[in-house]
A and B are shown apart, each in its own frame.
Chain A
Amino acid sequence: MSHTFTLDGKVIPFTEGQTIIQAASAAGVFIPHLCYHPEFKAHGSCKLCTVKVNGRHTASCTMRAAPGMVVESETEEINAERRALTQMLFVEGNHFCPSCEKSGNCQLQATAYHLGMMSPHYDHFFPNRAVDASHPEVLLDFNRCILCSLCVRASRDVDGKNVFGLSGRGIKTHLIVNAKSGQLADTDFSLADKAAQVCPVGVILKKRRGFAVPIGERKYDQAPISQTADTTEGR
């Protein structure tokens, strides 16, 4: 016998062990998210997927569904909070959408559109982050990193390489690569790695391939993220 919970009044079936976001996406209901990816163990750090379960805020990617739960997601209150989190991510890094190769394919940008984000609201931090162009095939632009750790998980859990990791603490948390020099060229990273495919923003970019698809015809230009997520994530 399968169980159900309600999400914004809609009855959602789930199987034992499924998280709220898994059950919701199986039922075709979109919950905004950035660090969650259906193929990886949930991380629960971006907090974009926060919902209210029986009145309490919780991340839907880590909370297991339970029978009879009353879950709220698309409310004005929660979306305002998600919008604020998205704005925080924008001001924390250096995100210049108009000149970014990932524009139109970027989950952060698409999520901002989905949430109706009209401005960054907060003062920009303008952090000083270097670009790593050492690798022959891949450029790392840390300016856009949102610390979702998807590349960390992909490299560790799928590629078995541990090319990426997080170091530092607090606002100084940053992505590092597995080399004494700190350069991607000195790691065993390859373009064929799963880690090369999962970045939701524009940190890990293939070199010598710029604007192959014109802006305006890209993934999220064609359909909003609420209709495309989870099936072609990160591709």
Chain B
Amino acid sequence: MGCSREVIVGFNEMHAEAVAGVVDRVVNRYRRDPTCMLQILREVQEACDWIPPEAIDHLQATLGVPRTKIEGVAGFYSFIYTEPRGKYRVLFSDNITDRMQGNRALMERLCNSLWVERGKVSEDGLVSVGKTACTGLCDQGPGMLVNNYAIAGLSEQRIDEIAELIRNKVPMAEWPPAFFKIQDNIRRADILLNADFKPGEALLAARARAPSDGLNASNMRSWREGLPSGIGGPAATLDEIKRAGLRGRGGAGFTTGLKWEACRNAQLKPGHQRIVVCNADEGEPGTFKDRVLLSRCPDLVFEGMTVAAYAVGATRGFVYLRGEYRYLLDHLNAVLANRRRENLLGKDICGLPGADFDIEIHVGAGAYVCGEESALIESLEGKRGTPRNRPPFPVTNGYLDQPTIVNNVETFAAAALIALNGGEWYAAIGTKHSAGTKILSVSGDCERPGIYEYPFGVSIRQVLEDCGATDTQAVQVSGPSGICVAEDEFDRIIGFEDIPTAGAFTVFNKTRDMFEVARNYVHFFQHESCGFCTPCRVGTSLLKNLMDKLHYGSGSPYDFAEIEKLNNLLQSMSHCGLGHTACNPVLDTIAKFRPAYDKRMMQQDFTPAFNLDRALSAARQMTGRDDAAAHLENEHGGQS
């Protein structure tokens, strides 16, 4: 570290007083509230380019929080840096679709052009180039983040332009706005994306459902005290949600009406309030429909949250926006401000006395696990995003121990339409077991990647036809934690009764190597494991090592048996869904694309993963040699 730190002075070193000034400004903006720790760290970093030790000194003093806690939080999130990472921090999205679109070569090109080693900071401290998990730009990839701002549709030319801007130290605010243009790519719209919706409509419709007698009084009591059931608009709204048969759109498919009712019925301790949280931490690789919902129809989502608040009696709301979507923040805040002006948020909403609700946006910082609702709540509280022990569940003991509902962006959008048009209208769309529509994020090998909204019940084949996919080998539905569907299953349908999904729909044609797809996903889970429980923390690393071993040609039937055993262990012993599903991509592809694995099983008997020639690659890199004499004879004949 020592000498590079010296050189970095100038780009990254700020005077301690300047750092303290930044910290003061940010901390005051967050009311000196330690539960906003992640937001504070994120904003300090936006000003300082990293979290210097002096910032932690000052945070410790102003927030009265021990250093261990601050460093613990900072160290958890991929996008928070406690070591200098350059004035320009470039992260290439490394989802399988980015790989298919050639992100590796582009990254190489940028590294060569800027004279920087992958994963490291340039010697002058100007720039770092690394990779990150899926940035949700799969339909317009390859994508990257520069200082957490998204750039899509990378090409060699764009990479050269970016290198030039960085070399000339052009501030990001002066980069061509066209670089940051993100397309919505809506290819098929249905009730949600076609909604002709005026802000406030759904709330007024929900209010109109209240029995006419004692309208205000009953609503006021219900909102504030969350009376169990039976009176007023809130109960009527809840009934509509139940009648609609709405189920969560984040993947798990829990019945929304039941969740809301449990929150509404939860006992409130003195001084507590009910909380509505919108999960916009769309981290599942291949999913980007919440990005489009939030950029195209934020009012629908916010109104859905307000309807939820009305139904459960909540007074505080949060949107947890994934760090990769930082670029949406200012726009979303402007929409919220407008809703406050229109009296659709704030006090006495729509003129209803006691109807108080407001929404604030928290931005994540690169942690997939925070999409798990209890980890998300921990993160909202300014902590490490570790999933909680359950029970108790968030509906009774959520944000700061208060009754909390956490729903997906799309669920809230649907709830707003249900409040507007009624449960029966909604239930009539889709199938018997899956009401409504589902937005799919289609990417991979197809002519028209983008957003497709279908009524539930659409077949995989139909989607493939619509998006112009030919010669399709497989579709990964709902991302790595979902299922991999092979050709003979293309008549299966999207729906809770067959293939449930959070929205990802990644297409692979017959030229793709399904083993490498699975290996990419396994690397993803290993990177995103929170590290709390032993089986997932160590097991995902062991699984990654096994897949790499197969990749390098040292695999044998023994390793297959090991993968099987690891899968069972992760399923039974892991703390949360991440560990439970981490083996899915491997199991699915072994079952359905066995030849891709057989090709890798180059050994009949157990062979160690260690390969001396590969181990010498670091030495080759250091000495700049790659000639034949710098290699050992490759014993296993595998690729290195």
Binding site for B on A (CB under 8 A): 42, 44-48, 50, 57, 59, 62, 81, 84-85, 88-89, 91-92, 122-123, 125, 147, 152, 162-173, 176-180
Contact of A171 with B541 in the complex, beta carbons under 8 Å: yes
When distances are taken between beta carbons in the complex, the residues of chain A under 8 Å from B572 are 50, 57, 81
* Main SS class of interface, B: helix
Q: In the complex the two chains form, is A170's CB within 8 Å of B537's CB?
A: yes
CB-based nearest B residue for A177: B68
Max chain A Cβ within 10 angstroms of own Cβ: one of B56, B526, B541: B541
Q: Which chain B residues border A47 with CB–CB below 8 Å?
A: 533-535, 573-575
B332 an interface residue at 8 Å Cβ cutoff?
A: no
- Report how far A142 CA is from B458 CA in the complex, Å: 54
Nearest-neighbour CB distance to chain B for A81, whole angstroms, equals 6
A45 touches B71 (CB 8 A): no
Cβ B389 vs Cβ A42 within 8 A: yes
With A85-B534, A125-B541, A180-B53 as known contacts, state yes or no: A170 contacts B67, CB within 8 Å.
no
Contact of B66 among A125, A162, A172 (CB under 8 A): A162
Residues from chain A with Cβ under 8 Å of B533 in the complex: 44-47
User: Nearest chain-A residue to B542 (Cβ)?
Assistant: A122
How long is the Cα–Cα vector from A92 to B545 in the complex, in angstroms? 13
B contact residues, range? 35 or more
Chain B positions 65-90 with a Cβ under 8 Å from a chain A Cβ? 66-69, 71-72, 74-78
Q: Does B530 contact A (CB under 8 A)?
A: yes
Chain A hits for B529, CB < 8 A: 169-171
Determine the chain A residues whose CB is within 8 A of the CB of B542 once the complex forms: 88, 122-123
A170→B531 contact, CB < 8 A: yes
Residue contact A178 to B541, C-beta cutoff 8 Å: no
Complex CA–CA separation, A166 to B57 (angstroms): 18
Give the residue among B75, B527, B528 with the most A Cβ atoms within 10 A.
B75
Chain A residues closer than 8 Å to B187, beta-carbon distance? none
B195 in contact (CB, < 8 A) = no
Residues of B within 8 A of A46 (CB): 533-534
Closest to A42 in B: B389
A169 to B68, Cβ gap below 8 A?
A: no
B68 near A165 (CB under 8 angstroms)? yes
Q: Is the CB of B545 within 8 A of A123?
A: yes
- Quick check: B53 and A169 within 8 Å, CB to CB? no
Across the interface, which residues of A come within 8 angstroms of B530, CB to CB? Answer: 169-170
Min C-beta distance of B471 to chain A, whole Å = 37
- Residues in B with CB closer than 8 Å to A42 are 389
Closest-by-CB residue of A relative to B77 is A169
Nearest to A44 among chain B residues (CB) is: B389
Bound CA span A163–B526, Å: 29
| Bound-complex Cα distance A152 to B534 (A) | 17
B525, chain A: closest CB distance, angstroms:
9
B569 within 8 A of A: yes
Contact B68 A163 (CB under 8 A): yes
Residue of B nearest to A173 (CB): B531
How far does the alpha carbon of A176 sit from the alpha carbon of B389 in the complex, in Å?
23
Contact in complex: B569, A167 (CB < 8 Å) = no
Query: In the complex, what distance in Å separates the CA atom of A172 from the CA atom of B75?
Result: 9
CB distance from A94 to the nearest CB of B (A): 14
Most buried by A among B72, B74, B527, B574: B72
